[in-house]
């Protein structure tokens, strides 16, 4: 497959001709609602085997081959040209598919208002063939150690039919917010802990969860060691029953990073205990903060590189947002929160307002400005095929375990096409 960025004046018919594809195939793969309405800067994944490269000034057969990890002799042979033949600018060369590496993938499924919408269930059904884990979010711990369960609907059947491992996400959420006080109770009351672990094991056996996933946030900083001890106890209870233990952690760049999000998450200890660790490498740009990329490549890289000093690469899963935000400008701290948008909706907003999509090469993320019908200026930061490919390249470069998505139900077809292009998804 190949990523194409729409240029001024291009039509889908012209793009299809460039890649020896069809309008229908490209429109269907990228779920383009109106093939006659594209915007400059819009990216799409071209569903072809391998890719094409057009010769640029200064290129040589050797430099192009090196770029794609092959020999110049092989490149010449595949394209039926002589190794001594001068390359014409604009010549189209075919590049065969590159080997895919193994990786694990996870995606959270969060029912909204305790209801599994048809859209969420359909999203789980469509993506489960490309998921190692499906994380049902979430089983909320109560103060007595019992669990408030989310609706499951057909998640069990979907996972079973696609050999996807069900992940039981356990949280300290109360009324939609992570509770510091509930975290304190769980980590300091041994009776609550034991009752909680008994309930988790009983639920896992009943539902057929194979991974128990703790997402405890806003924990009291002074209970850092207590959290690690709790996870150690959980691991000792789960392992004999064949249950994996995974943990979500905040994105840190040092062991002494301050803030209630970070201090109780001991990367070294958690990395030693857990079977896998999901690092929440997103929300630099967040709904209540100033406009910026949600997961800029630089900060994401910094967090993962620190994590590699604290735990094995084979345990690390990079967190990735499937959403973007639409901010009303000017941004005012404490003002209206940004609106969540899917990548598909972001493109439609650009189409409706006839504005070009730009790309920030430092952040490796797309964005655009527009003015609404009330005269208010907006900026939208989101994800596209280029930004997600940059994250896949980082996964390969750092040789980490894989990627975890927050969250299903947000349309982003290019992501799943590129998962297939880049990885052999492991099924346990």
- The residues annotated as belonging to the active site are 217
Cα–Cα dist 228/249, whole Å: 12
Cα-flanking dihedrals φ and ψ of residue 264, to 5°? -85, -5
* Size (the chain), residues: 428
Rounded to 5 degrees, φ, ψ at 147 are -125, 135
- Under DSSP, is residue 247 helix (H, G, I), strand (E, B) or coil? strand
**Cβ-based neighbours of 81, under 8 Å, separated by 6 or more:** none
- Find all residues with CB under 8 Å of 252, minimum gap 6, and list them: 262, 265, 267, 303, 306, 307
For residues 32, 35, 41 and 45, what is the CA-based torsion angle, rounded to 10 degrees? 50
Which stretches of 69-138 are DSSP H helices?
72-79, 118-127
**Separation of alpha carbons 89 and 73, rounded Å:** 19
């Amino acid at each position: 497959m190949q990523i194409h960025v729409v240029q001024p004046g291009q039509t889908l018919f012209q793009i299809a001709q460039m890649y020896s594809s069809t309008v229908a195939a490209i429109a269907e793969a990228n779920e383009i609602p109106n093939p006659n309405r594209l915007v400059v800067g819009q990216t799409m994944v071209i569903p072809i085997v391998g890719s094409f490269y057009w010769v640029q000034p200064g290129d040589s057969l050797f430099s192009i081959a090196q770029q794609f990890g092959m020999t110049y002799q092989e490149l010449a042979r595949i394209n039926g040209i002589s190794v001594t033949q001068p390359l014409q600018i604009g010549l189209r060369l075919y590049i065969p598919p590159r080997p895919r590496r193994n990786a694990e993938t996870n995606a959270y499924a969060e029912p909204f208002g305790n209801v599994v919408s048809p859209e969420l269930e359909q999203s789980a059904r469509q993506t489960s063939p490309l998921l190692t884990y499906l994380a049902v979010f979430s089983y909320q711990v109560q103060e007595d150690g019992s669990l408030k369960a989310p609706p499951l609907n057909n998640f069990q059947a979907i996972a079973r039919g696609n050999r996807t491992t069900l992940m039981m996400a356990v949280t300290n959420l109360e009324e939609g917010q992570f509770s510091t006080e509930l975290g304190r109770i769980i980590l300091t009351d041994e009776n609550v802990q034991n009752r909680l672990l008994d309930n988790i094991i009983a639920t896992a056996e009943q539902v057929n969860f194979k991974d128990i996933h703790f997402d405890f946030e806003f924990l009291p900083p002074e209970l850092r060691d207590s959290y690690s001890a709790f996870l150690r106890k959980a691991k000792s209870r789960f392992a004999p029953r064949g249950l994996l233990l995974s943990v979500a952690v905040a994105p840190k760049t040092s062991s002494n990073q301050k803030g209630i999000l970070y201090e109780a998450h001991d990367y070294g200890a958690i990395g030693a205990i857990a079977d896998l660790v999901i690092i929440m490498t997103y929300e630099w740009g967040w709904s209540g903060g100033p406009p910026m990329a949600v997961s800029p490549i630089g900060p994401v890289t910094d967090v993962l590189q620190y994590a590699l000093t604290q735990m094995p690469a084979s345990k690390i899963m990079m967190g990735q947002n499937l959403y973007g935000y639409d901010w009303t400008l000017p941004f005012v701290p404490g003002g209206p929160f940004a609106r969540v948008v899917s990548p598909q909706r972001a493109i439609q907003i650009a189409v409706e307002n006839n504005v070009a999509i730009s790309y920030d090469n430092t952040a490796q993320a797309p964005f655009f400005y527009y003015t609404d019908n009330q005269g208010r200026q907006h900026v939208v930061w989101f994800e596209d095929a280029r930004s997600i490919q940059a994250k896949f390249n980082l996964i390969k470069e750092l040789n980490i375990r894989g990627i975890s998505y927050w969250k299903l139900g947000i349309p982003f077809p290019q992501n799943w096409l590129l998962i297939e292009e880049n990885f052999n998804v492991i099924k346990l």
